[in-house]
Structure 1
Amino acid sequence: MDIGTSVITPSESAEDTLPSMFWGLDPIYGVFAKLYIKDILELKKSQPVPGVFFYKTHPITKVDILGTIVQKRERERFFSFGVDDGTGVISCLWWKKQRAMENVRLASSPFGLNVLEQLNRINQLENSNSQLELGDVVQVRGRLRDYRDQREINSTSVSKVVDPVFTAQIARMLELPYLYRNFYDKTFQIQMDSSDPNQQGEPTLSLQRKIKQFLTQNGVKNFYQQELEAIDSLVCIAEQNCVSLCLHHPSQTSQDPPSSACVSKQIHELFQQAVCALQEEGIIFQKVAAHTELYLVTDAEKELHKVTRKIVQDDSTRPKYVDKGCPFHHIVSCVRHSYSAGVSEAAVQRVLDRLECDSEIVSTMDRHYTVS
């Protein structure tokens, strides 16, 4: 039996659709997820596995928040403080570390290093870092848990942020929408196949690599998809994979060879998938979005590079961008207005990366650019 792509819709429960043994395949599962506190408080709790929560289809165990301390209390073994990021308030626990330094025996160091003194300094730094006051801005990392029906963070790291000009808060405000749009809000998909590892994504990937190599080696500046389908070396790669796909199709018997119509249709669809994948990478783009329209190779489209550089050069001198540089989405908007409305964000990002690699522009902070 062949199992195709399992797509989980946001309305479905991820734990009902996907066994827990596969949660680790989601890269968000193993990181400190940067989320709004409002969303952390509303995460769905996993019933069979304690300590696992879900944002849409993504399993979450650890979080990273930045906010202001609005509540504080101290107990014998821990501090408890409430952190507010503007969307909600969550309780965080910060456990005290008991160090009986007077009972520590240390061997003498041959290099004259006083290890006990260094440990005392570290201990003092930890103690000063734990002196949190109302109004302090802190970055907290830790594991999520529910205690007495209240969502809280069992902190593993608490860092006081000394930032009089709010650089850290502004950076976080810019970063979170990008993370939500490109990762958290995207449906988690998993490729599972019990018979042929090439049947799902590998044919597209192999053809995609071959097309990319062909475009680079031949200095292609633009093309139509049907032109690629006439290149023998590319068609050969597609045919090998498509014959295999047709043979594994449920309606195809082992005695009957795959029909030419089946192979031709599969070849066309495979080229279409490979071209779409190259668009998502930003390798190619279209001025007008349609499968029949001309594709342009991003690295070879010098006019796009020229327009993008001029936008960064002109707008980075404007008062509101002079300190941090032009934000990425502002650059995309200007490129679409000055060059073509069909340019993808991936293509603009590739151009910016190339300009930065050539030292024509520099990135000043997360997705902000200015001239070098």
Structure 2
Amino acid sequence: MQSATMDPAEEPPSMLWGLDPIFSAFARLYVRDILQMTESTQVPGIYFYNLHPIYKVDVLGTVVYRRERDDFFCYGVDDGTGVINCLCWKNDLFKEEGGPTKSGEKHSDVAHGSFNLVAELEKLRQAQQRRCRLEIGELLRVRGPVKTSRQQREIMASTYYRVNDPVMSVQIAWMMDVPQLYRQCYDKPFQLQPDATGDSAISSLSKATNLIKDFFKEKSVTRFRPYDVQDLLQPLISSQPQTTPADQKPVAGPSACQQLRQLLKEVLQILQDEGTVYRRVKSQDEVYHVTAHDKDLLIAVKDIIHEDSKRDKYAEKGCHILHILSAVRQRHSLNVSKTALELVLKSLECNSDIVSTSDNHYTVF
């Protein structure tokens, strides 16, 4: 496999790599993507997936070939998307061959039934050998930096071990976690770029969201309509016409008014996803309630917990958050999200109106 390198013009500056949390983590990537990652032109040994700088990975797969040398093992690991070579070094304890056993026999004659340090070290060495010397078909987990040797991509293992998974619980959990990591992290490109002052630039969407939140906090807004806050975002919309070369026809783009409406729409969606706002009734008259300042919602949640905690079913542990959510939707509004309810529960707990008995159960004093 040829080691592809990224176009220097597309590659993020190396001084910004540390701002990406994936850079300092062991990325759980599919082997197929590890083999196809492009290598940095700035720093050899750094690779890019969707502009995310990556140099160490975490892989779980089946051993499909093995080679053993005096100092290391070479395991071919197949995770279902591809096969990658993993170079797994032996440590000094592993490389000792039979040394402690002879001396252990002498000590065992002297100390009958007492703790024998040499014998215990021998047991430890044998246990480590069993964990590190894998056969074809066994499950291996490998963590370490990615390297390219002889034009072949491989993993230099810093940690590796056999995974005992008779009912495939580890593999199932892995297959559920990795796609979620792709959706939430890896498939979202690293877009942070420096501005003219060298500081990280915050997108217009983030600025707009923070601007609306500050307005809610400063004015103690309980409810609003979109046109009430639309003018706050006006300074973020560029009203200057775009210039085009004389030999090209001007390209029609969205007007400032259209940009403003689209930005406001995206901000309101983010605020709803975060639970900051919600619509009690969905109608043509778009009225949004600010969750933290909606006294009716806080009272409804508090009353539900107070009443239902007296029932035998919830007397010991309190009310589960999903039970509270169901009751709130029946009594108050069908449009209350779980994230909005979590904000309300946090506020009530800070005010000592309720207390959490576990991560998801709440009761009153």
Normalised by the shorter chain, which TM-score bucket? 0.5 to 0.7
| CA distance in structure 2 between the aligned counterparts of 1:135 and 1:351, rounded to whole angstroms | 48
Q: Tell me, what secondary structure is at the counterpart of 2:27? A: strand
Query: Which blocks of at least 5 consecutive residues in structure 1 are unaligned?
Result: 1-11, 104-112, 252-263, 306-334, 364-372
SS in 1 for 2:92: coil
SS at 1:33's partner residue? Answer: coil
Q: 1:78 aligns with which of 72, 79, 83?
A: 72
Q: How many angstroms does 1:269 deviate by?
A: 9.5
Secondary structure of the residue that 2:165 maps to in structure 1? Answer: coil
Measured in 1, the distance between the counterparts of 2:215 and 2:49 equals 37
Query: 2:239 and 2:197 mapped to 1: Cα distance?
Result: 12
1:281, distance to aligned residue in structure 2 (A): 2.9
Q: Deviations over 1:236-278 (max 9, x none)?
A: xx89xx5xx89x9999xxxxxxxxxxxx999999977764553
Higher relative contact order (CA 8 A, sep 6+): 1
Q: Which residue of 1 aligns with 2:227?
A: 226
> What is the distance in 1 between the residues matched to 2:276 and 2:124?
49
Deviations 1:56-89 (A, max 9, x none): 2111101111111121121111011111111111
**8 A Cα contact 1:14 1:54, kept in partner:** no
RMSD: 5.1
Give the Cα separation in 2 of the matches to 1:266 and 1:55: 31
Other-structure match for 2:86: 92
CA distance in 1, matches of 2:6, 2:279: 37
* Aligned residue runs from structure 1 range 359-370, under 5 A: none
Equivalent position amino acid for 1:224 in 2: R
What is the CA–CA distance in structure 1 between the aligned matches of 2:21 and 2:283, rounded to whole Å? 32
**What's 2:157 paired with?**
155
1:35 positional shift: 0.8
Cα distance, 1:284 vs structure 2: 2.7
Contact 1:203 1:270 in 2 (8 A): no
**Displacement of 1:96 after TM fit?**
0.8
Q: Which runs of 5+ in 2 are unaligned?
A: 101-114, 242-256, 302-328, 350-354, 361-365
Q: How far did residue 134 of structure 1 move?
A: 1.9
Quote how far apart the aligned CAs of 1:129 are: 1.6
Aligned 8 A contact 2:275 2:343 in 1: no
Contact 1:14 1:58 in 2 (8 A): no
Aligned to 1:311: none
1:60 is matched with 54
Query: In structure 2, how many angstroms separate the alpha carbons of the residues matched to 1:26 and 1:354?
Result: 31
**How far 1:159 sits from its partner (Å)?**
2.6
Gap change, CA 1:270 and 1:139, over 3 Å in 2: same
How much does 1:200 deviate?
Answer: 4.7
1:28-48: CA deviation from partner (whole Å, max 9, x where unpaired): 111100111111111112234
Distance in 2 (CA, whole Å) between partners of 1:199 and 1:47 is 24
How far has the Cα of 1:120 moved from its partner?
A: 5.8
Q: Which amino acid aligns with 1:223?
A: F
Identify if the C-alpha distance between structure 1 residues 284 and 126 changes in structure 2 by more than 3 Å, giving closer, same or farther. farther
- The counterpart of 2:41, out of the listed 33, 42, 47, is 47
Say whether 1:278 aligns with 2:282. Answer: no
In structure 2, the residue matched to 1:141 is 143
**Alignment pair present for 1:38 and 2:36:** no
1:272-310 per-position Cα deviation (integer Å, ceiling 9, x unaligned): 7764553453423569999983335567669xx9xxxxx
**1:297 & 1:210 partners in 2: Cα distance?**
12
- The offset of 1:164, in angstroms, is 2.0
What is the rounded CA distance, in whole Å, between the counterparts of 1:265 and 1:94 in structure 2?
A: 57
Secondary structure at the residue paired with 2:158? strand
Deviations 1:119-153 (A, max 9, x none): 66654443332121222212211110111111111
Q: 1:22 and 1:197 mapped to 2: Cα distance?
A: 10
Q: Which stretch has the larger CA shift, 269-278 or 59-68?
A: 269-278
Structure 1 range deviating more: 113-122 or 80-89 = 113-122
Give the distance between the partners of 1:23 and 1:290, measured in 2 at CA: 46
Distance 1:291 1:96, change over 3 A: farther
